[in-house]
């Protein structure tokens, strides 16, 4: 993806969160089901390939701006998407929607009738005129002119989201009820009601922003559930009608083998979850040559660098020198194991192999190292993925180089790990095989 070229203009008008949750239960479950269980893929769907590889962060400048809530999550792969989705009801009566779970942005928004311009989505369009709990944030609000101002087409306070891949949504800000599993409801959640939307959202109705900013869903429910949530993204290729993926808000018992690393803050991008990646190992050996550890570090003065944990981006991105060092180390060990590298790239991947006649056990292991001694030992399916767009069994190293000063730990590499985002204790946890 090209570096972000647009600037996000985001109006975030939040009401008091003290009544955001109406009589919150001791546990609040947000079901997350596999996408196939709702919309089976076509018979000829290519299940092994990440056809799309989104960069879902808002444009760079925008980042300047107890009980439990648990939700099932579904993979977007059957729809040629690398993202995961939560099934959530909106309004009263509720309209079932599929929202991309995005730790890299804040606003909760969805496509709304009437549409000036809307892309195709798999779930019904939300019509705020039919919801008795929908409340548009008025232009008369004192905060509105201080932010983006009045949207004359809707008569309310407006918003515009522009993302790094050129996707966009604009409309008016409002509050409404969100409904999760077991008819558990959360009231007065600020949402963006998008009447003009375009881009690569892959049939979802919109985004469930769970970043660190004040407008995110995680922040809005924090008075009831705390500044703590966890998720687990299960097998993206599974056909199972039940899903092992989930999203849970509120502190839960921690698995004893969870490895924690400090959560860092970037004063220039306050809504993102930063961690300090200290390096990586390939084939059981630490890679030390060919790159500088400083390229992975966050420079808080300039706001550049650092590694962001992002559920809305599929493939992890590393600085070009770090990626090159990891790829070359992987390729050297793959060659020694008899794996034949292809001469050409496949899609966005530049290290692909013909695995016909080769054992998957020969694939070199990869471990990501984080500050504080936290390690992520990735299973092969988290970094060595099939590309079946051609005849044969071709697999690619599912990582990319980036030159824009921001590295990403994407959801393919997070697959199967319980990821804990503990803002209260300023730490991020990883627990393998925990879905």
Residue 340 has pLDDT above 50, yes or no: yes
Q: Which of the following is catalytic: 102, 151, 202, 350?
A: 102
Residue ending a domain, choose from 231, 249, 267:
249
- Which domain covers residue 190, as residue numbers? 17-249
Instruction: Establish whether 102 is a catalytic residue.
Output: yes
Residue ending a domain, choose from 249, 270, 292:
249
Per mean pLDDT, which range of 136-145, 291-300, 418-427 is the poorest?
136-145
Please tell me whether residues 245 and 318 are part of one structural domain.
no
Task: Assign residue 330 the CATH number of its domain.
Answer: 2.40.70.10
Residue 334 has pLDDT above 50, yes or no: yes
- Answer yes or no: are the C-beta atoms of 211 and 104 closer than 8 Å: yes
Confidence of residue 381 (pLDDT cuts 50, 70, 90): very high
Residue 358 has pLDDT above 70, yes or no: yes
Can you give the pLDDT at residue 239?
A: 52
Q: Which of the following is catalytic: 106, 176, 202, 310?
A: 310
Residue ending a domain, choose from 201, 218, 249:
249
Question: 47-67: per-residue pLDDT in tens?
Answer: 444 544 445 556 543 322 245
Residue 333 has pLDDT above 60, yes or no: yes
Chain-wide mean pLDDT for the chain? 81
Q: Report which listed range, 7-21, 108-122, 366-380, is most confident.
A: 366-380
- Average pLDDT, integer, range 242-255: 83
Q: What's the farthest any 2 CA atoms get from each other in the chain?
A: 69
Number of structural domains in the chain = 2
Report pTM. 0.86
**pLDDT above 90 as % of the chain:** 52
């Amino acid at each position: 993806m090209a570096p972000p070229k647009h600037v996000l203009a985001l109006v975030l008008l939040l009401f008091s969160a003290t009544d955001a949750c109406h009589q919150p239960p001791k546990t609040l479950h947000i079901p997350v089901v596999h996408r196939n269980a709702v919309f089976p893929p076509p018979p000829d769907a290519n299940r092994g390939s990440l056809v799309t590889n989104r960069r879902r962060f808002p444009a760079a400048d925008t980042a300047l701006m107890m009980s439990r809530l648990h939700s099932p999550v579904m993979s977007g792969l059957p729809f040629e998407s690398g993202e995961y989705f939560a099934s959530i009801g909106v309004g009263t009566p509720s309209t079932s929607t599929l929202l991309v779970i995005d730790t890299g942005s804040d606003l909760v928004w969805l496509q709304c009738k009437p549409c000036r311009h809307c892309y195709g989505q798999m779930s019904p369009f939300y019509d705020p005129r039919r919801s008795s709990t929908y409340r548009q944030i008025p232009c008369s609000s004192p905060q509105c002119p201080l932010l983006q101002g009045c949207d004359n087409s809707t008569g309310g306070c407006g918003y515009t989201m522009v993302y790094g891949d050129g996707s966009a949504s604009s409309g008016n800000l409002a509050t409404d009820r969100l409904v999760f599993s077991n008819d558990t409801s959360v009231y007065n959640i600020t949402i963006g009601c998008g009447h003009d939307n375009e881009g690569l959202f892959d049939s979802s109705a919109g985004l469930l922003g769970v970043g660190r900013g004040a407008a995110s869903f995680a922040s809005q429910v924090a008075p009831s559930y705390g500044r703590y949530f966890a998720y687990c993204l299960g097998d993206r290729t599974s056909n199972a009608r039940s899903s092992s993926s989930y999203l849970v808000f509120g502190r839960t018992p921690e698995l004893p083998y969870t490895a924690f690393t400090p959560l860092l803050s970037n004063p220039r991008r306050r809504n993102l979850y930063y961690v300090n990646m200290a390096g990586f190992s390939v084939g059981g050996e630490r890679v030390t040559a060919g790159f500088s550890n400083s390229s992975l570090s966050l420079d808080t003065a300039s706001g550049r660098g650092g590694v962001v944990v992002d559920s809305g981006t599929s493939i992890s991105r590393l600085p070009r020198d770090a990626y090159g060092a990891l790829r070359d180390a992987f390729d050297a060990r793959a060659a020694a194991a008899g794996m034949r590298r292809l001469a050409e790239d496949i899609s966005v991947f530049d290290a692909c192999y013909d695995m016909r006649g080769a054992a998957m056990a020969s694939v070199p292991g990869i471990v990501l190292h984080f500050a504080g001694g936290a390690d992520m030992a990735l299973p092969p399916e988290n970094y060595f993925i099939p590309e079946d767009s051609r005849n044969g069994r071709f697999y690619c190293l599912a990582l990319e180089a980036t030159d824009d000063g921001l590295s990403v730990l994407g959801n393919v590499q997070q697959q199967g790990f319980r990821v804990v985002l503990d803002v209260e204790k300023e730490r991020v946890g990883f627990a393998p095989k925990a879905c």
